[in-house]
Amino acid sequence: MNNFRVFSLFVYVFLLFLPPIASLTVQAFTGTYGINYGRIADNIPSPDEVVTLLRAAKIKNVRIYDAEHSVLKAFSGTGLELVVGLPNGLLKDMSANADHAMEWVKENVQAFLPETHICGIAVGNEVLGGSDYELWGALLGAVKNIYNAVKKLNLDDVVQITTAHSQAVFSNSYPPSSCTFRDNVVQYMKPLLEFFAQVGSPFCLNAYPFLAYMSDPENIDINYALFKSTQGIYDPKTDLHYDNMLDAQIDAAYAALENAGYKKMEVVVTETGWASRGDENESAATVNNARTYNYNLRKRLAKKKGTPLRPKNVVKAYIFAAFNEDLKPGATSERNFGLFKADGTIAYDIGFHGLDSSSAKSLLLYLKDSRSRYWFQFRSLFLPISVATLLLLLR
């Protein structure tokens, strides 16, 4: 009996000093605020510097649009929660070949866990409602093959599978309660929602009051889009009042989900933001408007409250984007959504601080080294105590 007690205590002490392992619960979003780290640029900070910047800003939730290994390595040991992206260009292959899906997950997700906290895979981006109809048909197969690979590797309790949708999947969103999925989207959307309901994934929405206002500036009050004081809108069907457009866009998604039979599915905003510069026909893309939108959005998310239609579902949002991206095609606004400029300084002040070359390097070294130093100190203090306890029991 004494030998058994000693053995049990030895096992306990051994387990106590094992390095921490990954959580067994999916934590795809911590808190309410996240950011999209796009890299379509040739002049933005290195991944290591980006980690420093995000840690200093206390932004824990990060989405990228691929699975670039230099980024995954830089995020190792930082505690940042990362959602990686499977690009649209790989969807057809992943849908047609389960083995390729398994290889992709092994090489780009499993190989970096648990040191890099990869908590999600976004399979494609804004596929349904887009112009490539072949991708519409490939999306569900790719989602299932990626999920099955994750499950076979016993990572399904750690890594959440999602895909993000634009407003183009909806036929109407005003007032919010009238929103439904477009007729040509429904046949693809419903089986996708059915699968996500089975595996517990949310509906991911890219919601841009900026784009909605730009499409109809004569009939939309810009204050309503910017979270400023306004009379807002009234939805007669639900008897609800909206004082900002983002809440209305989110509730429109909830209405479409309910109409499709998925009332309990959560909506997560995977992109939202406001451009700070634009072309001549993009007059709303100004530094002042971008600052106002993102400052007020940050305040709104900090309240940790829901929407008028779903008051118990706390709104969570990833801001678009971390940086201005100089190589993005299209209108000037597309290259100017960043909270930070290419050199790491702030694009405008909403309470964050930009990179400083000297302090950034020292902070990065501290963050990378802190985990190992803490573990060494912890072990040095408690290991002798535990050994002494064992010796006393063995006497």
- Residues with a catalytic annotation lie at 126, 271
Helix (H, G, I), strand (E, B) or coil at 268: strand
**Contact indicator for 193, 233 with CB cutoff of 8 Å:** no
Helix axis angle for 2-16 and 357-394, nearest 10°, is: 180
**Contact indicator for 64, 108 with CB cutoff of 8 Å:** no
Q: How far is CA 49 from CA 46, 62, 70, in A?
A: 5, 14, 12
In this structure, how many other beta carbons lie within 10 angstroms of the beta carbon of residue 184?
A: 14
Helix (H, G, I), strand (E, B) or coil at 352: coil
User: Which residue is it, tokens 């008897």?
Assistant: 239
Helix (H, G, I), strand (E, B) or coil at 164: strand
| Alpha-carbon gap, residue 44 to 365, rounded angstroms | 20
b/e map of 357-376 (b: 16 or more CB within 10 Å)? eeebeebbeebbeeeeeeee
| Alpha-carbon gap, residue 225 to 68, rounded angstroms | 34
Closest listed residue to residue 91, CA positions, set 41, 128, 63, 116 = 128
| Alpha-carbon gap, residue 189 to 156, rounded angstroms | 22
